[in-house]
């Protein structure tokens, strides 16, 4: 679960706890701390997929998951953008898919993400950030929950962006703004998308009884790591 620009606090912690209580190992990422780390790195571009693969591998190993499960990415606001970038940059089969809440295609970093696989971007006019491009060959499912009352990122602009992406689904939320504050207005849709994605992957490699006996799925109510 990747936070927005507010960091790892408030609603995003409640989101993580909620899905941890649904038999899931949830790893939390504070995007502010992660950005700080990225800006210290050498090189002309940033390959973020490598970081998240390593984080998932370490998390599953720590909690004794016997067989590696490709992680399902979830993120809010700038974390939602990170989810999309990870899906585009990674090779097919690296992640189960992604769920973005309040997606915007802009990345406010002085250094761009590396353009690999389907990830393409272009610098914005201000010269201090980048816009991600739609990926017409997106290899993993991507679900975007976006409020029609969002005043940070216009709903129509998000809808137009998603039409250029393969294997992407937009779920419009009638009474939701960018803050995602009223759970009844979006959580049922989020749970449905989550359950569908995880059931498809888990059903192919594990059975429910085996999963319930892994203590990490119950105990991980706090973020395992805030990269």
Model pLDDT, residue 68: 87
Tell me which CATH code domain 11-219 carries.
3.40.50
Q: How does pLDDT run across 34-81, given as a tens digit for each residue?
A: 999 999 999 999 999 999 999 999 999 999 998 889 999 999 999 999
- pLDDT above 80 (res 211): no
Model pLDDT, residue 201: 57
- pLDDT above 70 (res 30): yes
Terminal CA-CA length for the chain? 11
Q: In 11-49, which positions are buried (b, 16+ CB within 10 angstroms) versus exposed (e)?
A: bbbebbbbbbeeebbbbbbbbeebeeebeeeeeeebebb
Residues facing 63 on adjacent strands: none
Cβ atoms of 105 and 81 within 8 Å: the answer is yes
Query: HEC string of the chain?
Result: CECCCCCCCCHHHHHHHHHHCCCCCCCCECHHHHHHHHCCCCCCCECHHHHHHHHHHHHHHHCCCCCCCCCEEEEECHHHHHHHHHHHHCCCCCCCEEEEECCCCEECCCCCECCCCCCCEEECCCCCCEEECCCCCCCCCEEEEEECCCCCCCHHHHHHHHCCCCCEEEEEECCCCCCCCCHHHCHHHHHHHHHHHHHHHHHHHCCHHHHHCCCHHHHCCCCCCCC
Residues facing 147 on adjacent strands: 173
Instruction: Give the whole-number percent of the chain exceeding pLDDT 90.
Output: 80
Task: For 107, list phi and psi in degrees, rounded to 5.
Answer: -125, 115
Mean pLDDT for the chain? 88
Q: How does pLDDT run across 130-173, given as a tens digit for each residue?
A: 999 999 999 899 999 999 999 999 999 999 999 999 999 999 99
């Amino acid at each position: 679960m990747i936070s927005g620009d507010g960091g790892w606090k408030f609603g995003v912690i409640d989101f993580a706890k909620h899905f941890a209580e649904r038999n899931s190992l949830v790893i939390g990422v504070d995007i502010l701390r992660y950005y700080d780390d990225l800006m210290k790195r050498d090189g002309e571009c940033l390959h973020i997929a490598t970081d998240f693969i390593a984080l998932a591998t370490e998390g599953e190993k720590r909690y004794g998951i016997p067989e590696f499960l490709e992680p399902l990415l979830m993120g809010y606001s700038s974390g939602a953008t990170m989810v999309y970038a990870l899906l585009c940059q990674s090779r097919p089969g690296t992640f189960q898919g992604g769920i973005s809440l309040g997606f915007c295609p802009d990345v406010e970093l002085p250094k761009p993400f590396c353009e690999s696989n389907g990830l393409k971007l272009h610098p914005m006019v201000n010269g201090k950030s980048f816009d991600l491009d739609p990926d017409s060959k997106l290899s993993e499912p991507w679900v975007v929950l976006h409020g029609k009352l969002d005043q940070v990122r216009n709903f129509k602009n998000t809808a137009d962006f998603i039409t250029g992406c393969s294997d992407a689904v937009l779920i419009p939320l009638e009474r939701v703004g960018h803050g995602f504050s009223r759970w009844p207005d979006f959580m049922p849709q989020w749970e449905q998308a989550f359950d569908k994605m995880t059931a498809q992957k888990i059903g192919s490699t594990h059975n429910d009884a085996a999963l319930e006996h892994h203590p990490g799925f119950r105990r991980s109510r706090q973020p395992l790591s805030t990269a």
